[in-house]
Amino acid sequence: MRANPIHLKQKIAREAAYLLYFGFEKEFKQAKVKAAKTLGSTFLPTNLEIALELDRIADENEGSARSEQLVQMRKDALKMMKILERYTPVLVGSVWRGIAHRRSDVDLVAYTDTPKEILVLLKANNLKILKSEWTKVNKKGKIVTSFHIYLESPSKRKIELVVRDTENTNQERKCEIFGDQIKGLTIKTLTEVLKKNPLRRFVPT
């Protein structure tokens, strides 16, 4: 009897999410391919299907501590964003979405045409910089360059800061997981979220 394609696809999504959650894979693409191979199938779940399973696994393993961690990560993000205030910082990623788990980083974006200024600023604030590098990504045939800074917050949270040119400040970006626009949170909106509903989620319904 052949396996139900829907159930099989869900199993693959679950396996891919497991690989991501426990750190065996870092990217959705590699995780889904490996999961499909492990289960002997060619079915590939969507990034959204994997994200939903990842959310469930995090709840199962972290319980109430997950909510406490999210609030702390958002507070850490706000502190960092206030340091970067002149560079129009935005909180994105799983901490913005409200679906962060114990392996999640705090993802920030800032805008300047002189990224080294930000490195100087971070060092002046005694923040631990782990690594910094230029990266190039091919977006629909266009090469997009950005400067990445990996650092550690005073509370030992891992932060990835992507520095983009100022001409990209208001550029709309589509989320490869949820398919919606990446809006993120500014200093003002993050402050409001922490005050009114610190566990609020920003995911399509």
- Segments making up each domain of the chain, as ranges: 5-62, 65-196
Q: At which residue do the structure tokens 């994200």 appear?
A: 51
Q: With contact defined as beta carbons under 8 Å apart, do 191 and 200 qualify?
A: no
pLDDT number for residue 205: 77
What are the tens digits of pLDDT across the range 101-148?
Answer: 999 999 999 999 999 999 999 999 999 999 999 998 877 777 778 999
From CA 103, how far away is CA 121, in angstroms rounded?
A: 27
Contacts of 150 (CB under 8 A, 6+ apart): 129, 130, 131, 132, 158, 159, 160, 161
Tell me the average pLDDT across 70-81: 96
What are the tens digits of pLDDT across the range 6-19?
Answer: 788 899 999 999 99
Looking at domain 65-196, its CATH class is alpha beta
From CA 80, how far away is CA 106, in angstroms rounded?
A: 10
For residue 171, pLDDT over 90 is answered with no
Q: At which residue do the structure tokens 């009114």 appear?
A: 196
Kindly report the pTM of this predicted structure.
0.90
What number of CA atoms fall less than 13 Å from residue 76's CA on the CB side?
24
